[in-house]
């Protein structure tokens, strides 16, 4: 599930206009020449920084966010109070997952009686990214009241979906998906998030929503990614390989390449899959070794598929949780790492901590049940499996599906669960 969150972070919590990388690169070259010729031009540095941001959002290459940050810092040296440069710097820092620095840079812009919508939107985005879900929910409600718009509604919809209030989220997003006054790529973005809200309960509804997104915007790579995942889950891995190969050829984002490797493996092509995973691991590890933590969870997913570095996964994910952000997706990532390393009690404790949150999905609860079982906590494991068996059936990735199948077979052959008897206090005369 954290593919979704990774994409949110790079796009921001709002749709990004689909632009060809060649078009943006040509613009960067032009703007770079202009900035070099006029180094005292505030506008020039802001424009160049914005172009680097756009390319970073399209490709997920973290070096581009660093370059954007450099441009906005040069603009701020010229005019320290310039809002455009400050907002650009905040977005660049978010792109490289320096969330606390981004929040510190943003806060001064929220002082004073008139706070503009951009501040409120970014303030929400940062709290959501940091895992401050309750704070983000309150901010989204306030944003809708003070600045009602497409941007405020989609943020409220995302936090509603996070807390499991999917019908309300779909209602908000559905209105905008049908609105001809906004751009097709924005309507497509809404359709994809409607699809995401159906994933845990109704894969057919999710698939239909992603199809609608592609009708609105055929270049919506995220919709292609999600359809490919559903294809793999339904036994059509060859279709997923074909779809993802086309996507990766036009946009080799790490998330897309990882999903292509999964599809290749499910399509009985283990050697190309392993080669792709090894190449991806080298790229992502070089980023992390250089101090760039934006892809640390993705690196751990790649390592897990290669069945390597179980202890290092835990070290990295615990450090991220301690120093960068605490969120549900981080719990899932660390929980899987602990399971893989055989640290079942630690995995149980971690999953149970996150289970206090509303809106958690079967893709979270199945590994939690596995952790309980392997930690010899048989009764709670059985109760959780029985609960999951009666939940609506939706999409599960191959790793989670394997665990679910194994646990259901185990549950059926295990002794009956003891009946819970409430202790009633005895009263005497």
CA distance 221 to 185: 11
Reading the chain (429 residues) residue by residue, the pLDDT tens digits are: 434 433 443 344 667 776 778 889 999 999 999 999 999 999 999 999 999 999 999 888 889 999 999 999 999 999 999 999 999 999 999 999 999 999 999 999 998 778 899 999 999 999 999 999 999 999 999 999 999 999 999 999 999 999 999 999 999 999 999 999 999 999 999 999 999 999 989 999 999 999 999 999 999 999 999 999 999 999 999 999 999 999 999 889 999 999 999 999 999 999 999 999 999 999 999 989 988 888 999 999 999 999 999 999 999 999 999 999 888 889 999 999 999 999 999 999 999 888 877 678 888 899 999 999 999 999 999 999 999 988 877 888 888 999 999 999 998 887 776 654 445 444 443
**Count of CA atoms in the C-beta half-sphere (13 A) of 340:** 23
Burial (CB count within 10 angstroms: exposed 0-12, middle 13-18, buried 19+), residue 382: buried
pTM (whole model) above 0.85: yes
Domains and CATH numbers, the chain: 1-111 (1.25.40.10), 342-411 (no CATH)
Q: Coil, strand or helix: which one is 298? A: helix
Task: Provide the pLDDT for residue 358.
Answer: 67
CA dihedral over 100, 301, 397, 332, signed as positive or negative: negative
Determine the length of the chain.
429
CA distance 48 to 83: 16
- For the record, the structure tokens of 76 come out as 């701020």
Q: Coil, strand or helix: which one is 140? A: helix
Burial (CB count within 10 angstroms: exposed 0-12, middle 13-18, buried 19+), residue 208: middle
On whether the CB atoms of residues 158 and 128 are closer than 8 A, the answer is yes
CA distance 23 to 372: 51
Task: Provide the pLDDT for residue 60.
Answer: 85
Residue in the structure block whose two tokens are 């690196």 = 299
Measuring CA to CA, how many Å separate 199 from each of 62, 210, 334? 29, 11, 22
Task: Provide the pLDDT for residue 395.
Answer: 87
Task: Provide the pLDDT for residue 408.
Answer: 93
Find the angle CA(135)-CA(138)-CA(139) to the nearest 5 degrees: 85
CA distance 206 to 396: 13
Torsion of the alpha carbons at 337, 340, 345 and 349, rounded to the nearest 10: 30
Find the angle CA(409)-CA(415)-CA(420) to the nearest 5 degrees: 115
- Element of type H or E holding 2: helix 2-11
């Amino acid at each position: 599930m954290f593919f979704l969150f990774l994409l949110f972070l790079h796009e921001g919590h709002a749709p990004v206009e689909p632009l060809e990388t060649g078009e943006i690169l040509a613009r960067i070259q032009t703007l770079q020449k202009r900035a070099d010729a006029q180094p005292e031009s505030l506008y020039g540095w802001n424009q160049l920084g914005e172009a680097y941001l756009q390319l970073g959002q399209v490709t997920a290459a973290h070096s581009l966010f660093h370059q954007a940050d450099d441009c906005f810092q040069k603009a701020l040296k010229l005019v320290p109070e310039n809002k455009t440069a400050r907002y650009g710097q905040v977005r660049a820092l978010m792109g490289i997952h320096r969330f606390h620095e981004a929040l510190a840079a943003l806060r001064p812009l929220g002082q004073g009686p008139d706070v503009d919508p951009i501040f409120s939107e970014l303030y929400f985005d940062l709290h959501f990214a940091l895992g401050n879900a309750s704070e983000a929910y309150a901010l989204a409600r306030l944003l809708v009241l003070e600045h009602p718009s497409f941007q405020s509604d989609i943020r409220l919809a995302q936090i509603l979906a996070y807390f499991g209030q999917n019908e309300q989220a779909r209602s908000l997003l559905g209105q905008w998906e049908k609105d001809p006054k906004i751009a097709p790529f924005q309507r497509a973005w809404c359709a994809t998030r409607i699809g995401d809200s159906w994933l845990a309960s109704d894969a057919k509804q999710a698939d239909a929503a992603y199809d609608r997104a592609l009708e609105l915007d055929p270049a919506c790579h995220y919709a292609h990614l999600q359809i490919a995942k559903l294809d793999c889950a339904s036994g059509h891995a060859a279709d997923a390989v074909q779809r993802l190969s086309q996507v990766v050829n036009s946009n080799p984002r790490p998330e897309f390449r990882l999903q292509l490797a999964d599809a290749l493996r499910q399509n009985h092509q283990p050697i190309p899959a392993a080669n792709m995973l090894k190449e991806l691991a080298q790229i992502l590890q070089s980023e992390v070794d250089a101090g760039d933590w934006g892809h640390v969870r993705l690196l751990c997913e790649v390592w897990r598929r290669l069945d390597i570095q179980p202890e290092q996964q835990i070290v990295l994910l615990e450090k991220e949780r301690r120093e960068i952000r605490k969120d549900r997706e981080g719990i899932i990532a660390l929980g899987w790492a602990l399971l893989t390393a055989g640290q079942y009690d630690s995995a149980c404790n971690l999953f149970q901590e996150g289970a206090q949150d509303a809106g958690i999905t079967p893709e979270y609860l199945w590994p939690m049940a596995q952790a309980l079982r392997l930690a010899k906590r048989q009764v709670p494991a059985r109760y959780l499996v029985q609960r999951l068996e009666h939940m609506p059936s939706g999409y599960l990735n191959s790793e989670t599906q394997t665990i679910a199948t194994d646990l259901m077979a185990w549950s059926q052959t295990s002794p009956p669960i003891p009946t819970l008897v409430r202790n009633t206090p005895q009263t005497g005369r």
